[in-house]
Structure 1
């Protein structure tokens, strides 16, 4: 590929110049044309090198980092935990009210049963120990002067 340098005596080897061999251009298929909006074509930049050559190409803008999204002052996890706590407190309060209601209902039913027993028991006592002289049905036994002799009742 490269030409071999000439062999000289050591005194002449102080300065040695190598000329690069140009590579043949690669045969390539033409690039397809892509329709570009008129305002989207970037500007072409040209640079003059110190040896006088001009290099022309598109100016590349440096990649801009994506803008950081503003973080909310409170994290979403903290908000979710707080809402869960509020829901738990609401459920506990509801359960407390439910147990209170059940306790009050049980006490009311107990008092009604006790009241019914007292009223019904009083009515039965009045029937048995009542002072009314006339009763329908039943046997009346008046014991005044009873004499008990030898386990027999004589009245």
Structure 2
């Protein structure tokens, strides 16, 4: 792989050896009086530098939420059942209303047929003094499906 070729020469290989890390010596922090936190805290680093900063209060955990006596899931299921029951009753009333409306329309159609049929019967069979043609047949003879007057 590192053999010379016609087109290029192999590059020199560099080997890097890892350098061991020096162990860190823990440095004690400045003593803090019990019950009081100084306004400014200083820390001495291993290399002799001093870092000064304001003390930060530790974050207080939020109080645990009080759990209700009944779970929300149970309440949601109960409310869903009540809503479903109300919808079912409404659907029963709706179907009853539709059936009553269909029966009313059916009765109105029958009433219209009776009234309109009676009006037609009066027009056909009634004795009106309207301008109809009156034919008086006194003597008629029917022979071989022919009518002779």
Query: TM-score w.r.t. structure 2 length?
Result: 0.53
Corresponding pairs, count: 104
Residues 1:146 and 1:108: Cα distance change in structure 2 (over 3 Å): same
Q: What is the CA-CA distance between 1:113 and the residue it aligns to?
A: 1.6
Structure 1 CA distance for aligned equivalents of residues 109 and 117 of structure 2: 12
Runs of 4+ in 1 over 6 A off after TM superposition: none
Q: What is the CA-CA distance between 1:128 and the residue it aligns to?
A: 1.1
* Bigger Rg over Cα: 1
Where in structure 2 are there 5+ consecutive unaligned residues?
Answer: 1-24, 28-45
Structure 1 CA distance for aligned equivalents of residues 143 and 62 of structure 2: 125
Query: TM-score w.r.t. structure 1 length?
Result: 0.51
Structure 1 CA distance for aligned equivalents of residues 119 and 62 of structure 2: 92
Residues 1:154 and 1:66: Cα distance change in structure 2 (over 3 Å): closer
Aligned: 1:118 with 2:86: no
RMSD: 3.2
Where in structure 1 are there 5+ consecutive unaligned residues?
Answer: 1-22, 41-64
Residues 1:93 and 1:69: Cα distance change in structure 2 (over 3 Å): same
Instruction: Find the counterpart in structure 1 of residue 88 from structure 2.
Output: 92
SS, match of residue 148 in structure 1? strand
- Given the alignment, which residue of 133, 136, 146 partners 1:139? 133
Instruction: Find the counterpart in structure 2 of residue 106 from structure 1.
Output: 102
